[in-house]
Amino acid sequence: MPLAYLSDYSWDDVIPIPQDDGGENPLALIAYHDDYKIATGYLRAVMSIEEVSDRALQLTSDLIFMNPAHYTVWAYRARLLFALKKDLEEELIWVEEVSRQFLKNYQIWNHREVIVDKYDNPIRELPFIEEMLELDSKNYHVWSYRQWLVRRFDLWVTELAYTDHMIQDDVRNNSAWNHRFFAVFGKGEDVGQSVIDDEIDYAKSAILKAPQNASAWNYLIGLLKRGERPMSDIEKFCNDLAAVQTTEHAVNVDNDRISSARALEVLADIYNSRNEVDKAAQAWTLLAEKYDPIRENYWKFKKSQAIQRLAATA
What DSSP string runs through 46-110? HHHTT--SHHHHHHHHHHHHH-TT-HHHHHHHHHHHHHTT--HHHHHHHHHHHHHH-TT-HHHHH
Pick left, alpha or beta for residue 4 (phi over 0 → left; psi -120 to 50 → alpha; otherwise beta).
alpha
Radius of gyration for the alpha carbons in the chain, expressed in angstroms and rounded: 28
Percent helix / strand / coil, the chain, rounded to 5: 70, 0, 30
| Pairwise CA distance, residues 128 & 149, whole Å | 12
Residue 149's H or E segment, with its range, is helix 140-153
The 10 Å Cβ neighbour count of residue 12 is 8
SS3 at position 243: coil
Out of 86, 104, 204, 300, the active site residue is 104
Question: Is residue 104 among the annotated active site residues?
Answer: yes
Helix axes 261-273, 214-226, angle to 10 degrees: 30
The catalytic residue positions are 104
